[in-house]
Amino acid sequence: MIKLDEIQKRLLREVADLHQVPEGAYNIRSNGQSAGRQSTANIEITPKTDVSGLEIRIKPGTKRESVHIPVVMTESGLTEVVYNDFYIGDDADVTIVAGCGIDNCGNQDSQHDGIHRFFVGKNAHIRYVEKHYGSGDGKGKRILNPVTEVYQEAGSSVEMEMVQIKGVDDTVRTTKATLKEDARLVVRERLMTHGEQRAVSVYEVSMNGAGASADVVSRSVARDSSYQKFDAKLVGNAACNGHTECDSIIMDHGRILAVPGLEANHVDAALVHEAAIGKIAGDQIIKLMTLGLTEQEAEEQIVNGFLK
């Protein structure tokens, strides 16, 4: 394994909670190269031959194992597109931790576009965690444009946790999912933007089988002059249940556009969307001030809690 420097280690901690080499299968990508890779008896990671990226094959029935595939970038001016395909066998139950941390101290933009495809077998269950983090005080932007495609077989369930709290200048996140009968998708997105940052999050979830369900919830905070767009579309092509929610706090000169979309093509498709954008309620701040917090401390507590 290539030795990682302190900045790279810090990025790894931020995006994957990794303090050392993880247990189970992993691939650590650092500045465009593999800094370490390990397969296990049930989880095989192999590099793609045609494009940059990995194939991750999880055997049917694999239980309680994990895969870590974090990416760190510390070279300014690096642009990469990575294609990772996950094949999750029937009845498997695994946790997949991805995520990308960019530290850009230079003047050129650094960009990582991860294209992840998940082929989730029958009755398989995955928990997918993806964290984005940026740091460094260079003028170069930190750009992340992840694309996630999920193909769920009957009875499968996918829980996705997407987190981007700090330091990423520009993001367009696209998530597409198709669900067969009794498949279930749960998405929890947490997002905070600062400064002049821009974050666009687009979801399109098609429920094609009877009994499919999707629950896409985004909680976000837009500070300073940042901009966010949340565009979540649910398509019900069968008897299914869909719910999407965008709950946002707006601060300073932040701007948020929520575009919930529902398309029902079946009489038993039950689809719901909720969207609420507003500043922090004055009585919340006052309540915390009566506990001895300053106005600024109160705001921090409210935002931290909201994004927890």
Partner 1 sequence: MLELRHISFNVDQEGQDKEIIRDISLTLPDGQLTVVTGPNGGGKSTLARLIAGIEKPASGQVLWNGQDITDWSVTDRARAGISFAFQQPVRFKGIQVFDLIRLASGKSLSVADACQYLSRVGLCARDYIDREVNASLSGGELKRIEIATVLARNAALTIFDEPEAGIDLWSFQNLIEVFEQMRADIAGSSILIISHQERILSIADEVVVLKDGRVAAQGARDTVLPGLIGTVSAVPDCRVAETGGNRA
Site for partner 1, rule CB under 8 A: 219, 247, 281, 283-284, 286-295, 301-302, 304-308
Nearest distance in Å: CB 303, partner 1: 9
In angstroms, rounded to a whole number, what is the distance separating the alpha carbons of residues 32 and 113? 12
Nearest distance in Å: CB 166, partner 1: 18
In angstroms, rounded to a whole number, what is the distance separating the alpha carbons of residues 13 and 51? 28
Nearest distance in Å: CB 241, partner 1: 20
Q: Are the C-beta atoms of 153 and 183 separated by less than 8 Å?
A: yes
Comparing CB distances to partner 1, the nearer of 48 and 287 is 287
Nearest distance in Å: CB 288, partner 1: 7
Phi, psi (5° rounding) for residue 118? -120, 125
In angstroms, rounded to a whole number, what is the distance separating the alpha carbons of residues 10 and 167? 14
Comparing CB distances to partner 1, the nearer of 39 and 301 is 301
Which residues have a Cβ under 8 Å from the Cβ of 13 and sit 6 or more positions away?
Answer: 19
In angstroms, rounded to a whole number, what is the distance separating the alpha carbons of residues 10 and 217? 29
Note every long-range contact of 294-302, with CB atoms under 8 Å and residues 24 or more positions apart, other chains counting: 299/251, 302/249
Nearest distance in Å: CB 278, partner 1: 11
Sign of the C-alpha dihedral, residues 10, 113, 235, 247? positive
Q: Are the C-beta atoms of 228 and 200 separated by less than 8 Å?
A: yes
Nearest distance in Å: CB 35, partner 1: 35
H-run or E-run covering 116? strand 110-120
